[in-house]
Amino acid sequence: MSVVDYKNLGELVKPINWNRLEDPKDREILDVLESNFWLPEEIAMANDKVTWKNLTDAEKRLTAHVFAGLTLLDTVQSQFGAEVLKFDAETQHEAAVFSQITYMEAVHARSYSNIFSTLLSSEDIDEVMTWAWNNPHLRKKQEIILSYYQGDDPFMRKIASVMLESFLFYSGFFWAFYLSSRQTLTNTATMIALILRDESIHGYYIGYKFQRMMERLAQDEREEYRVKAEELFHELYKNEILYTESLYDTVLDTRPGITEEVKKFLRYNGNKAMLNLGLNPLFSREETEILPAILTAMSPNSNDNHDFFSDKGSSYKRGTVEETNDDDWD
């Protein structure tokens, strides 16, 4: 039961006391989120305009579509996902952590606008946003996730949220890291690495809270949610494969084999989503063997576990966004 009835704002609220914690994990995660705080304006994006010119038209189109899709997912999570999870918070401290998560998801959604304003014209930006809204696979993701966010089951809300945080973003993340490993759009990849680090914390924390809730259930109930989690994953995975093929098959002539590499990356992160929920991974090591260069590019201090306690990294530096205007595209 929620610590506060957010639908009844007449209810009185006690002052939050961070000196008395029911779950020390709440303070630990909040400290990490606050120490990792960043804003998109702190990433110097202008240098990426040089390597952007080296991409083919198909690769530029893929880049725009990938980031439009990520924008949509972060919008869903900032405006609905983290908010509904706050309704299920059992302590004020847990609610405070979800408030911080909500804010950072909004920062992520805004971050892609900095990428767009650096690389695209206003007309192109409008076009890719329309594409994201109309894309059937992105609409399917929304429909599935929002059906659980709008449902009455707090367990399924957390499962769906972990799937979004720990799995659904990664078909898009892959392209940024792939290009970065080839010295292209490296500052964009730095921003994506910071977003990934945040999403890793969010997925871990939501999964941790799910596991705490599961501890109170009888064995048969826990088994029921394990089955539901696997069924939801497979439904999302099927759609994600179709989405991946529709995106990456368009650049196979210049990037041979890339679609299959993205699928391995999906399975790799799908396993991580299941582990965050305290469940067994679904794919073998052979099915999740991703390119070492991608793993290296994933974080300035990359390792196999997404080290979310690391600092911003050597490639992170304060800068200003150099916006283009429509005259630049004449």
Which residues are the active-site residues? 112
What is the C-alpha to C-alpha distance for residues 241 and 266, in angstroms, rounded to an integer? 8
What is the C-alpha to C-alpha distance for residues 312 and 297, in angstroms, rounded to an integer? 14
Rounded alpha-carbon distances, angstroms, from residue 40 to 48, 100, 168, 302: 14, 16, 22, 20
The answer to whether 89 touches 1, Cβ cutoff 8 Å, is no
The answer to whether 44 touches 319, Cβ cutoff 8 Å, is yes
Q: If we measure between CA atoms, which residue out of 110, 133, 138, 131 comes closest to residue 61?
A: 131
Query: Does an H or E element contain 41, and which?
Result: none
**Which tokens go with 322?**
């150099």
What is the C-alpha to C-alpha distance for residues 108 and 121, in angstroms, rounded to an integer? 21
Give the burial class of 92: count Cβ atoms within 10 A of its Cβ; 0-12 exposed, 13-18 middle, 19 or more buried. middle
